[in-house]
Amino acid sequence: MRLHLLATLTALLTVLLPTYADTLPQTPTTIYNVVYTASTGQNFIQFAGTMIVPHLPHAGFYYLWPGLFLPDYGGVLQPVLSGGTGQWTINNTWYYVVNEDPAGAQDVRDVAFGVQEGDGMRFDMRINNETGIWSITLSVPGTNKTATNEFPMILPKKAYNIPYAVFEIELWSQQWDFGSLTFTDISMVANGTTSTSWCNDRPATLQTSFNASGVNFTVQDKQVTCNIQSMVLLQPGANASAQPTEDSPSSAGKVLFGLSFWWLLLGLGAMLTYTPSS
């Protein structure tokens, strides 16, 4: 499966690289993330929260996002905050490697709107249980900025295999120089079983110091809702007392390695086809 995905992306890059070679960053992606993994037999059906828009030092290839990883596709459903134009822009995005869309689209982007430093950008990714279609709704409370996009290309038979919820920072030829990235009022809903062991303040992480606070859960109608009051991804060097989670289960470490591998590839594909817009 992994070799098949790699071959698929390699073929895609073979076509794109000659065209975009002059605009590519000169160093590979640096990835920081925090990953929540649902218990065996569970899948995420909703992921919502508020991302506080950080300072943008200058135009550059910054990609900040929460997302849901779909292993059947090698893909990720994500509202992406991008700084490529010198102004933060948020886009609803579905990017994947395994192509089962008859239209052949492997990178589906819907430009939402521009946002400013300090804005609380509300995101809500959820599946419609009647139609099996995923959607992302974005809004900035107190403004008229709102956008909802559906992603019917995610096949219903695979739309419920989503065991990973992610907070991620991707940097292309950039430094983490925008301060800490804060998410608030987070809720992750998983169904399948009533296990709550995954809902805690010590998720798996890739080279990322973070602070998670106000973590609690509820169980109702065979669904687990994990609430997190605040998740702060700390800029390296900004808080020496905070440490990455070194006591995550070994299985989570293996998952992180796989996710990091695929996001590196997914990020490259997205970078080659992505054109930020304000």
For the segment 182-238, what is each residue's pLDDT rounded down to a tens digit? Answer: 999 999 999 999 999 999 999 999 999 999 999 999 999 999 999 999 999 999 976
Residue ranges per domain, the chain? 2-273
| 3-state class (DSSP) for residue 92 | strand
Q: Quote the DSSP letter at residue 159.
A: H
Quote the radius of gyration of the chain (alpha carbons, Å).
18
Instruction: List, as one string, the DSSP characters of 69-114.
Output: EETTTTEEEEEEEE-TTSS-EEEEEEE-SS---TT--SEEEEEEEE
Q: Which residues pair with 34 in a beta bridge?
A: 167, 205
CATH of domain 2-273: 2.60.120
For the segment 107-161, what is each residue's pLDDT rounded down to a tens digit? Answer: 566 767 999 999 999 999 999 999 999 999 999 999 999 999 988 888 877 899 9
pTM of the model: 0.78
For residue 62, what is the enclosing H or E element? strand 61-70
| 3-state class (DSSP) for residue 128 | coil
Q: For residue 278, is pLDDT > 80?
A: no
- Confidence at residue 157, expressed as pLDDT on a 0 to 100 scale: 79
